[in-house]
């Protein structure tokens, strides 16, 4: 009979910690289990596949398991180390995330995290699903999605009473570019013209309506806004001459520049706006806090990995956007500069976001940051991952 037993503290998002004892035993010659207990996973349905031929394999892997502090991985390693060459599996929790249709550095927090296995380490099988901004938020409210990437549309829905919360922020400034026709040299040339934005009420529409008055133009009076999404459709409309100007993501901007269109404005130079991150339902936050906690840990692991791996991420961006190596590097460096420090934003920016969105969406009632944001999961995960105190 081979037996292994150890205990470790597990701290939840509430700050309370409990001691978890794991025991596994079984004759390695049979490869089956006579007895095992793991209180930390009685309620979870994880699946991880791991083969350990000897107990020494477990001891070699233990430092990595301890650093990651993934209860799923630690439990499986303990069990596998007692079983010999056997396979232990638990069902992964599926998480459906509403994402943008255009590849960019913020959407990579989901794509790369899935490919690198950061979510699987937390017992989550991630399913990124593309949908329109409005449709995605409606799907989140209706239960078709577990999370959404769209903070602009999500924040607007919250202010209108939707039972959602913004629980992580990837960026603090927008990576949007306003491109005009070949004969347009400045923003003043927009007067009397048609400008393509995203769906009305979405983050991009809100930002555009906030910025234009700063340059002496009133939306819909001096400049006609057209709702066209996703971004590739706006690019096609610009290239065909169907509209005079368009607000584009960085990949589409590179294409438009090569076709002779002029960059009139980079939004990130003029406005703070949180557009990408994680929106969750209040139902999941209250009824499935462990599910939310593990999802945020996977997102944070990917978030920090992207910040630390310029070469690989730039190459992935170049491949995803079918652009050159130098373009991929430009996409990375521009995007990562706009990232938040630790997945949260300061209260002052939360208040400015609320004020701006209330103005654009014409919402009169008072709204506090606590009504919209809840960064408790991110702060707890940062502490667990050894990333220090969140602001």
Whether residue 380 is found in the same domain as residue 277: yes
335, part of any domain: no
User: 8-29 pLDDT, tens per residue?
Assistant: 444 333 444 444 444 444 433 3
Whether residue 247 is found in the same domain as residue 373: no
Of 334, 323, 373, residue with least CA distance to 351: 373
329, part of any domain: no
119, part of any domain: yes
Of 164, 163, 137, 161, residue with least CA distance to 149: 137
Q: How far from the centroid of its chain's Cα atoms is residue 322's Cα? A: 22
Point out the domain boundary residue: 48, 83, 118: 83
Instruction: Give the full edge-to-edge strand order of the sheet including 35-38.
Output: 2-11, 17-26, 35-38
Whether residue 44 is found in the same domain as residue 117: no
Q: What is the DSSP letter of 321?
A: T
Whether residue 182 is found in the same domain as residue 169: no
Point out the domain boundary residue: 269, 289, 315: 269
334, part of any domain: no
Query: Residue 178 is encoded by which pair of tokens?
Result: 């306003």
If 0-12 CB within 10 Å is exposed, 13-18 middle and 19+ buried, where does residue 186 land? exposed
Q: What pLDDT is stored for residue 74 in this prediction? A: 56
CB 192 within 8 A of CB 198: no
132, part of any domain: yes
327, part of any domain: no
Q: Number of structural domains, the chain?
A: 3
Whether residue 124 is found in the same domain as residue 108: yes
Distance CA 169, CA 82 (A): 41
Distance CA 226, CA 194 (A): 7
Domain limits for position 255: 177-269
CATH code of the domain in which 251 resides = 3.40.190.10
Q: What pLDDT is stored for residue 204 in this prediction? A: 87
Q: Which residues of 317-351 are buried (b: 16+ CB within 10 A; e: fewer)?
A: bbebbebeeebbbbbbebbbebbbebbbbeeebbe
What's the pTM? 0.71
325, part of any domain: no
Distance CA 232, CA 240 (A): 12
- The Cα-based distances of 95 to 122, 148, 363, 379 in angstroms read 11, 11, 32, 21
Whether residue 262 is found in the same domain as residue 281: no
Whether residue 278 is found in the same domain as residue 346: yes
Whether residue 297 is found in the same domain as residue 153: yes
| Regions of the chain where pLDDT drops below 50 | 1-69, 80-89, 390-391
Whether residue 137 is found in the same domain as residue 279: yes
Whether residue 188 is found in the same domain as residue 75: no
Whether residue 34 is found in the same domain as residue 70: yes
Point out the domain boundary residue: 65, 83, 101: 83
Q: What is the DSSP letter of 2?
A: E
């Amino acid at each position: 009979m081979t037996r292994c037993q150890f205990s470790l503290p597990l701290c939840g998002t509430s700050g309370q910690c409990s001691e978890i004892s794991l025991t596994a035993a079984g004759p390695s010659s049979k490869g089956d289990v006579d007895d095992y207990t793991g209180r930390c996973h009685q309620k979870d349905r994880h699946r991880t596949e791991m083969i350990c031929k000897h107990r020494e394999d477990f001891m070699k892997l233990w430092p990595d398991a301890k650093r990651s502090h993934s209860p799923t991985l630690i439990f499986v390693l303990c069990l596998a180390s007692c079983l010999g060459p056997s396979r232990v599996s638990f069902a992964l929790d599926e998480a459906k995330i509403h994402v943008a249709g255009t590849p960019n550095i913020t959407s990579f927090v989901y794509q790369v995290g899935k490919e690198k296995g950061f979510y699987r380490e937390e017992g989550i099988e991630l399913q990124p699903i593309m949908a329109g901004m409005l449709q995605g938020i409606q799907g989140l409210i209706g239960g078709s999605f577990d999370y959404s990437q769209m903070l602009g549309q999500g924040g607007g829905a919250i202010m209108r009473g939707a039972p959602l919360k913004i629980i992580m922020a990837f960026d603090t400034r927008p990576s949007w570019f306003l491109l005009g026709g070949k004969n347009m040299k400045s923003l003043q040339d927009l007067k009397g013209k048609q400008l393509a934005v995203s769906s009305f009420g979405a983050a991009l529409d809100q930002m555009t309506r906030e910025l234009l008055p700063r340059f002496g133009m009133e939306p819909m009076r001096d400049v006609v806004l057209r709702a066209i999404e996703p971004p590739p459709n706006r690019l096609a409309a610009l290239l065909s001459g169907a509209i005079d100007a368009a607000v584009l993501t960085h990949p589409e901007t590179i294409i438009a520049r090569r076709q002779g269109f002029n960059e009139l404005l980079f939004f990130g130079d003029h406005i703070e706006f949180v557009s990408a991150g994680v929106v969750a339902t209040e139902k999941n936050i209250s009824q499935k806090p462990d599910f939310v906690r593990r999802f945020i840990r996977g997102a944070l692991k990917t978030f920090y990995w992207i910040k630390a791996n310029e070469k690989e991420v730039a190459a992935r961006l170049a491949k995803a956007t079918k652009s050159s190596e130098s373009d991929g590097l430009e996409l990375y460096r521009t995007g990562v500069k706009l990232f938040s420090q630790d997945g949260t934003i300061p209260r002052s920016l939360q208040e400015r976001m609320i004020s701006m969105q209330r103005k654009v969406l014409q919402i009169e009632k008072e709204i506090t940051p606590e009504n919209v944001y809840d960064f408790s999961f991110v702060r707890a995960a940062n502490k667990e991952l050894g990333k220090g105190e969140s602001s």
